[in-house]
Amino acid sequence: MQIINLEAGMPSTIDAMTTLNNRLYAVRATGVRTVKIIHGYGSTGRGGTIRKACRQKLLEYRRRHVIKDLCAGERFGPFDEEGRRLAALCPEVRSDSDWGRHNDGVTVVLFK
């Protein structure tokens, strides 16, 4: 699984979304099936702006069929329907270090 780290260097939300767009299309072009996006949770304890913007953008990408599916880190595991659905489509995600850890700071994306 490829990793896109949006929180490296503490970018602004706009810069992080530019990175997300550019890196997501670049990774997709390589034929990789899944990518883990590290967006962090935010320092306020309520979820940061990068996390919210990232997930909103990914939902848009899913609607536009740029990506097949996504799974929020807090649902990425065997005890949630979203995690099980992703693992059924791509069983190798079960070997990721965040599988079952309820990590709010990541989102996993599945390409077509």
- State the fold for domain 2-110: Ribosomal Protein S8; Chain: A, domain 1 (3.30.1370)
Distances (CA, A) of 15 to 27, 80, 89, 90: 18, 32, 31, 30
On the CB side of 105, CA atoms within 13 Å amount to 14
How do residues 73-105 score in pLDDT, each as one tens digit? Answer: 999 999 999 999 999 999 999 999 999 999 999
How do residues 15-72 score in pLDDT, each as one tens digit? Answer: 999 999 999 999 999 999 999 999 998 765 555 899 999 999 999 999 999 999 999 9
pTM assigned to the model: 0.92
In the chain, where the domains are located = 2-110
The closest alpha carbon to 57, from 19, 96, 103, belongs to 19
- What mean pLDDT do residues 5-19 have? 94
